[in-house]
Amino acid sequence: MSEFWGDAPSIEDYWRGIILFGKNVASYKFALAQSLLELAPGGKSTITLEELAQAYARHTLEHLRLCDSQSQQTNVPYPFLEACRRYDRGEISYEELISITAREGFKVVLDKFHNVNKTETPVHFFSSERRGAKVITLTDELFGMLEGNQGQNLPKEVDARWRLVETAWELKVSRNLISIGCDLDESLLFTQNRARRVNITSCRGALNGYQRGKCFYCFGDISIISSAADLTDVDHFFPRVLINYGIAHPIDGIWNLVLACVSCNRGVGGKFDQLPQLRFLERLNTRNEFLISSHHPLAQTLIRQTGDSEPKRRSFLRGNYSAAKTGRLINSNWQPAFEYPPAF
């Protein structure tokens, strides 16, 4: 986590640390995160558990309808999840669902939300005065984060992470074994369930947090909102043309995909089919190590693609870079015309 947060972490960095690096036994953390992001724009700082329960139950229901395999992860009973199932079957009313959610749904997650790798984050996005309190208080940090440039991206990042984790549950496959591919035409991550392809989530949403919402090359702000004017491109660090020479296999692997602004990727003086300067290879290694150090299905995909230790993965990158550069197959000296201060 210290590597991801760096020396001067932003509020968004702390939030992403919670979402990307926390352990995932159940989806409570994701449901709470989405609820906080939904309720904060309303401007109220004090939120009752009944108010929180409405958003919390709705987000959980939406995902349970996509994947209802959470009870298989532990032997611990989940009264809240069973209430969601009963509501969907028409066995209890909405009022009963909200009452059970407020009573049962927050017993652990409110206390554990800000814990990452057994350490509490120095920045909190809500506070609960005492165990059993009927309200939470949203913090200035949460409000400020949502007013910033990255605020619009955060719900999609949470949803992408949530979908990746629950896909492993749905397929009844260990998160250490699930294999993730990318469809660049649709910018979607997918996996195979026997002969059937299962679309999971947006490639942009899955990768954006690890780049801190910045263009991989110039560190300018990017968006993952489909209607945004600054919608980011999904770029191959090692250009796809290298597939013709058997270099950088698998070329469409997660390890080789980065998010780049349109200007860097295909604007005037853009990268196109060029190879970036060598200094960017270390940046790619850093981004990939962020992914691998998180409790995430993408981590194991990266390990299978590039190596089961950091030295092996670094050697994999350097070997491919040397092969592309030595053969003079493509220009290998590209860099953006302008770069903002480094984000990672």
Q: What pLDDT is recorded for position 173?
A: 47
Decide if 325 contacts 281 (C-beta within 8 A): no
- Dump pLDDT digits (tens) for 303-315: 989 999 999 999 9
Q: Where are the alpha helices (DSSP H) in the chain?
A: 2-5, 11-21, 28-39, 49-64, 79-88, 94-104, 109-112, 140-147, 154-170, 203-208, 262-266, 279-292, 297-306, 310-326
Q: Cα separation of 94 and 336, whole Å? A: 54
Phi-psi label, residue 222: left if phi above 0, alpha if psi -120 to 50, beta otherwise: beta
- Dump pLDDT digits (tens) for 136-191: 999 999 999 999 989 999 999 999 988 887 776 665 544 444 567 777 777 787 77
Q: What pLDDT is recorded for position 186?
A: 76
Average pLDDT, the chain: 87
Domain ranges of the chain: 2-147, 181-326
Query: How confident is the chain (344 residues) per 10-residue block, as mean pLDDT?
Result: 77 93 76 97 95 97 81 65 95 98 92 89 87 86 94 94 76 53 77 64 88 96 92 94 91 92 96 95 96 78 91 97 85 93 90
